[in-house]
Structure 1
Amino acid sequence: MYVAFDQLPPTARVWIYQASRPFSGPETVSILPHLARFSEEWTSHGRSLLASAEVLHQQFLVIGLDEGVAGASGCSIDASVRFVAQLEDVLGVELLDKSWLAFMQDGDIYLLKHNEIKAAVAAGTVAPDTFYFDNTVATKAELDTNWPRPAAQTWLARYFGQEEKNQRLA
């Protein structure tokens, strides 16, 4: 069953798929019906799932699921990945490649390969206060409150020598 994304509870599980380039306005408009249809038809072991999907920051596809109604199974998660792969083909964009990291500076999103982080920190391109999109957040509450957040407050803290400090605060 489809539900508006903002109506998902804070405990809803989320999956974030980062695009290799920003979605254009017309692309976003064109995929919204597909997102709604997928959410409406998504099932787990024959049970309807209370789900939603949304494009955020013109760069991320986010699928949300209220597991309080019904949880995702391996098969249903596989179905969602197949759906995302179909969107990749239709849009000519990569959504399943996890080797890119997304940052925001002055309202603009830019991507770096994982192996470019050390050089970006050394050059000042990525600083402790640079906002990082940690796409491993698991719930809608985390998405709403910790995405994006300053790089020094994520696993990237080790690149700024702040890992110990963050562990003491935890």
Structure 2
Amino acid sequence: MLIDCDLLSNEAKVWVYPSSRKFYPQEIEGIKKELEDFTTEWKLEDENFKASYKLIYNRFIVFYAAEDVELKNEDIDKQVAFILGLQEKYSVELLDKMNVCFKQGEFVQYKDLKDFKKMLKQKSVSPKTIVFDNLIQTKGELESHWEVPITESWYNRFL
């Protein structure tokens, strides 16, 4: 069942998919409709299943699932297949884990990890630069540890 993500506990499971580019304004409504349709149909057979989604900064797709539901491999496979379909349809990368999303002023940037390391060496980004930890696993972590300075993230090993 699709519910408002605010109604889920901080222990709710989350999956974050960063886009290699910001979605264009003309794409947003279509993407939101597709996200809503997928989330509504995701585990329709399980009447106790509660899930939600968010599109953050017009760049990050976040799925939520209540912590008390059992998710099987095929449920995650459905999610990944859906994301693969979005990648193809919108010509974006959503599954590449070897990238870094970070803020430069008010803008969210997306760089390959190798390029980000070079930026650190060249001091194009500082230890205070805000990065997105897309490996977080719960709603609580999303709210408190998703956007953090490099020094408070796993990227700090590159400093």
Give the TM-score range, shorter chain: over 0.9
| Deviation of the 1:71 alpha carbon | 2.1
Q: Deviations over 1:112-150 (max 9, x none)?
A: 211123321121122111000010010011101111100
Matches within 5 A, 1:22-41: 22-41=22-41
**Residue of structure 2 in register with 1:94 after alignment:** 93
Tell me, which stretches of 5 or more residues in structure 1 are unaligned?
A: 161-170
- Name the counterpart of 2:108: 109
Amino acid at match of 1:3: I
- Residue 56 in 1 paired to residue 63 in 2? no
CA distance, structure 1, for counterparts of residue 26 and residue 4 of structure 2 = 20
Provide the residue aligned with 2:153 in structure 1: 154
- Unaligned 5+ segments in structure 2 are none
User: 1:39–1:50: 8 Å Cα contact kept in structure 2?
Assistant: no
Radius of gyration: which is bigger? 1
* Highest RCO, 1 vs 2 (Cα 8 Å, sep ≥ 6): 2
Task: Give distance in 1, aligned partners of 2:26 and 2:53.
Answer: 17
Write out per-residue CA displacement over residues 2-22 of structure 1, whole angstroms, 9 at most, x where no aligned residue.
012222221110001110110
Structure 1 residue identity aligned to 2:89? V
Q: Residue 53 of structure 2 aligns to a residue in which SS?
A: strand
In the superposition, the TM-score normalised over structure 1's length comes to 0.87
2:34 counterpart SS class: helix
The residue number in structure 2 matching 1:163 is none
Q: Report the Cα distance in structure 1 between the residues aligned to 2:145 and 2:135, rounded to whole angstroms.
A: 11
1:11-70 deviation per Cα after TM superposition (whole angstroms, max 9, x unaligned): 1100011101101122111111211111111118x42421111110111111111022x2
Partner of 2:78: 79
What amino acid sits opposite 1:141 in the alignment? G
The residue aligned with 1:166 is none
Q: Which residue number in structure 2 is paired with residue 11 of structure 1?
A: 11
Aligned residues: 158
Distance 2:63 2:116 in 1: 27
